Amino acid sequence: MSRIVFALLAAAAIAGPAAAQDTRNAAAFNGAFVGGQIGWQQDRQSLDLNTVPPSTTRAKGDGLAYGGQLGYDLNLGGGVIGIETSLTGRTGTNRFPTFDLEPGRTINVTARAGVLVAPDALLYARGGYSNARFTITNPTGASENREGYIVGAGFEKMLSQNVSARVEYNYSDYGNDTLPGPGGPSALNYHRHAVMTGVNFRF
């Protein structure tokens, strides 16, 4: 009888931590979160001139992107769906021959869906709405908020029960703008690439 009791106690001692771990994993990527992000961002613009023959001038600028995010995840068992809003800024300026274009703040509202490749690791894709501010400088010009879309993919891993870290790539498109130019109106196209890392604190 004592051997049976001892065996049951030993089994409970082994199974207890495993059960606790399963409970923590079941709660991973579930609920509200808030966090910060930092990374590399490159804005690319192409200016299509209405000349004879037509010509295109391109500019791109790299900078440090930084900001914060908040959102909500729902763990479905084998996968996760969620929604997130973020506010970011960027250093640096894009330079054309006749003017500079300075990026400002960006607001993103995205949905994401992912697959749990491990109980504490998520591979995901995201997409949604993006609103970015751009200002023409040198010479001083107008500022405008451009609406567009953002798509991306990333990987996020739980570091503890309430903290996770992620890395992701995003692409954004903000359409075309019409500017005066030699020979008539010129089209200015806006594109963006970014690689961001972030930390989320979960509730």
| Domain coordinates in residue numbering, the chain | 2-202
pLDDT at 179: 73
Q: Report yes or no: 29 and 122 within 8 Å, Cβ to Cβ.
A: yes
Q: Is the pLDDT of residue 27 over 70?
A: yes
Work out whether strand 94-95 and strand 79-90 pair parallel, antiparallel, or are unpaired.
unpaired
Q: Is the pLDDT of residue 104 over 50?
A: yes
Give the pLDDT band (50/70/90) at residue 52: low
- CATH code, 2-202: 2.40.160.20
Distant-in-sequence, close-in-space partners of 199: CB < 8 Å, separation ≥ 6: 35, 36, 37, 163, 164, 165, 166
More confidently predicted of 94 and 24: 94
pLDDT at 26: 56
> Could you tell me how many residues make up the chain?
203
> What share of the chain in percent tops pLDDT 90?
58
Name the pTM for this structure.
0.79
Which of 5-19, 68-82, 112-126, 145-159 is the least confident region? 5-19
Mean pLDDT within 124-139? 93
pLDDT at 21: 42
Helix (H) or strand (E) holding 181: none
pLDDT at 94: 82
Mean pLDDT within 61-66? 93
Q: Is the pLDDT of residue 116 over 60?
A: yes
More confidently predicted of 69 and 177: 69
User: Which three-class secondary structure state does DSSP give residue 4?
Assistant: helix
DSSP secondary structure string for all residues of 49-107: E--SS-EEEEEEEEEEEEEEEEEEEEE-SSEEEEEEEEEEEE---EE-SS-EEEEEEEE
